[in-house]
Structure 1
């Protein structure tokens, strides 16, 4: 009974640590459950989950998408020309704040731009 309680606690701890690093909480729960304290140690030393080599962040919603993507699968925005000229800006018609050319909302006042 004591080992089972320790195993459950280690599984929960492993899942919480892994989840904070962007990894699968369910998988790490079972690893912690099976390996006990060693699972917690492995979860603690595991690195953060990053993008795969063929992925980039969407400039609109910051979710990871394929580098070749034309439309973001998360927010539906056109990302075909995004990031081509990072110095391009457009002023907001409401407050005059300079925003990135492909922005959908003003960073200064929150005004939504027309598509």
Structure 2
């Protein structure tokens, strides 16, 4: 019976991919990696939730906070899209 794949392994693989992506997104947003990994593995729709969620704090290389309006911006943005303030290049 070569080529036969057990259904348990297929389900495990289907759960591992959203779980890994959810954990990676949570790490980039300074959130609980294990919790979001399990939540996304069981309910993949939560990938959308974590994707659109703002970070809890600054994440070096990913997100920083505008000194004027305190909104989170992507690290490479030079102008705040909320208040149009020029961002310092040193942060």
| TM-score, reference length from structure 2 | 0.49
Greater helix share, 1 or 2?
Answer: 2
Taking structure 1 as the reference length, the TM-score comes to 0.39
